[in-house]
Structure 1
Amino acid sequence: MQRYFLNKSQFHEEYVMITGDVIKHIRRVMRMNEGDRIICCSEEGTCYICELSDVSDEQIQATILSEEKSVVELPIKVTIAHGLPKGDKLELVIQKGTELGANAFIPFEAERSVVKWDAKKAGKKVERWSKIAQEAAEQSHRQVCPNVWDVVKFPLLLEKFNQFDTVLVAYEEAAKNDEKSHLVSELNKMNEGESLLFLFGPEGGFSDREIDLMKENGAVPCGLGPRILRSETAPLYGLSAISYHFELLR
């Protein structure tokens, strides 16, 4: 069944009221009508199986039949913080990272970020990233649509560390030394429901100063195997490793 993420205000006790662009997708792309079923997910992560009961080009009403029981989300909440990369690499990270279970994305300006953030275009850029995350969440049958933050500067990112139970930073020097024990040991300490902030640098990686500041604020540097990964590959490796650790080994 097709899945849609809707605002809290659209959910009522026995039905869901659908408006906006979702109507076009239901009517023109999926060509659905009364009697067809969809899955509607709320901002809190609760999803309902619904049946279309009143369909028009202005609004669609869907009757709530039952709550979806299966759980597909990662046992821990993983936020990916990524130094602004060149081109559309961050779009790839958001799309594939959403499919792999990320809970949120924080783009940030790192010392070695080649891209200079244009505040005038910020709104449209974040809107596009959020749309990519939503489409990927619907396609992969997620129950939560990841939040995409506005781009933050590195000092502000450091201040956010205390909001997470664990903070890891992928560090290429650790990878060169085949230092993978920190990743495993930190994941072993985590319990279901806890939060993890996983930081990844831009194409040039992190500077020594940034690594020192992150360590001073509680981050644990770790390697991602013996090979050096591209900036857009590393977050996907990290999420895959987390999924294997929490979903396949347990």
Structure 2
Amino acid sequence: MQRYFLAENYTPKEQYEVTGEPYHHMVRVMRMNTGQQVYLAFQNQLSIIAEISAITDASVILKEIEKEQQEKELPISITIASGYPKGDKLDLVVQKGTELGAAGFIGFPAKTSVVKWDAKKLAKKQQRLEKIAQEAAEQSHRQVTPIVELLATEKEFLEKVATYDVIVVAYEESAKQGEHAQLARILQKVEKGTRLLAIFGPEGGLAPQEIETLVAMNGQLCGLGPRILRAETAPFYLLSAASYQLELM
């Protein structure tokens, strides 16, 4: 069953009207007819099964059949912050990170980032990543679409860092030194609803100065197992560990 995200909060209604891109996809791409059912996901993390009751030239009219019962979101909100990597690696991080339950993604210019994007390129890249996140959220039956933000300066990034409840910094040197329990301790203690920011460097890692700054902001350094992971692989390790600890244990 297809899933569509609506830019509104759920409130009980006799009918729901879908326009714009979801309308186009339902009518032009999927060629849906009256009587067919879809999922409608709302901004406040509620989703329903709805049946198409009418199709007009500009909108699809649906009626609620029942609310979706299964919880799809992680108990805590995890945002992945990645120092800009080379090529299309950030595309992969957003796509697979969305499937694994990330609530948001932040791209930032790390000191070792090779990629340099101006404001125009950043805006275009953000649009692409938002589309990737939406499609991945639909495919994985998420109840929300993750937020994507691409930042232009270190100052903007540090301002974002300061707004989170828990800050985790994936640090290669911690893994080399054999540290492997810090992440487990953090995940065992976090309470439901916590906003956690997980920070990852680009291919060259995070510079010592960046580590010092993040530690001064209460960032907690964590190794991710005994192996050294690529910039695009490390976020998946953390999200999988969080899912195991918070959803399966």
Deviates more, 1:121-130 or 1:164-173: 121-130
Matches within 5 A, 1:22-33: 22-33=22-33
Shift of 1:109: 0.6
Q: Distance in 1 between matches of 2:164 and 2:33?
A: 44
Is 2:151–2:157's contact at 8 Å kept on the other side of the alignment?
A: no
Shift of 1:181: 1.3
Question: Once superposed, what is the RMSD of the aligned Cα atoms?
Answer: 1.5
Is 1:47–1:67's contact at 8 Å kept on the other side of the alignment?
A: yes
Q: Deviations over 1:191-247 (max 9, x none)?
A: 111111000000100000100110011100100011111100000111001111111
CA 1:243/1:60 → structure 2, altered by over 3 Å: closer, same or farther? same
Q: Distance in 1 between matches of 2:22 and 2:210?
A: 43
Q: What is the match of residue 207 of structure 1?
A: 207
Q: What is the match of residue 229 of structure 1?
A: 229
Q: What is the match of residue 6 of structure 2?
A: 6
Length-normalised TM-score, structure 1: 0.95
Shift of 1:24: 2.3
Shift of 1:156: 2.5
Q: What is the match of residue 219 of structure 1?
A: 219
Q: Among all aligned residue pairs of Structure 1 and Structure 2, give the percentage whose two residues are the same amino acid.
A: 50
Q: What is the match of residue 140 of structure 2?
A: 140
Is 2:9–2:44's contact at 8 Å kept on the other side of the alignment?
A: no
Matches within 5 A, 1:153-168: 153-168=153-168
Shift of 1:12: 6.8
Length-normalised TM-score, structure 2: 0.95
Q: Secondary structure at the match of 1:160?
A: helix
Is 1:85–1:202's contact at 8 Å kept on the other side of the alignment?
A: yes
Task: Spell out structure 1 runs of 4+ moving beyond 4 A.
Answer: 9-12
Q: Deviations over 1:44-72 (max 9, x none)?
A: 11111111011134211111222212111
Q: Distance in 1 between matches of 2:212 and 2:134?
A: 35
Q: Distance in 2 between matches of 1:104 and 1:27?
A: 30
Shift of 1:9: 7.7
Segments of structure 2 that go 5 or more residues without pairing to the other structure are: none
Is 2:137–2:145's contact at 8 Å kept on the other side of the alignment?
A: yes
Shift of 1:19: 1.0
Q: Distance in 2 between matches of 1:113 and 1:12?
A: 47
Q: What is the match of residue 184 of structure 1?
A: 184
Shift of 1:11: 6.8
Number of equivalences: 249
Q: Deviations over 1:2-43 (max 9, x none)?
A: 100011189772222111122222123322100000011111
Q: Is 1:39 matched up with 2:39?
A: yes
Q: Distance in 2 between matches of 1:189 and 1:9?
A: 31
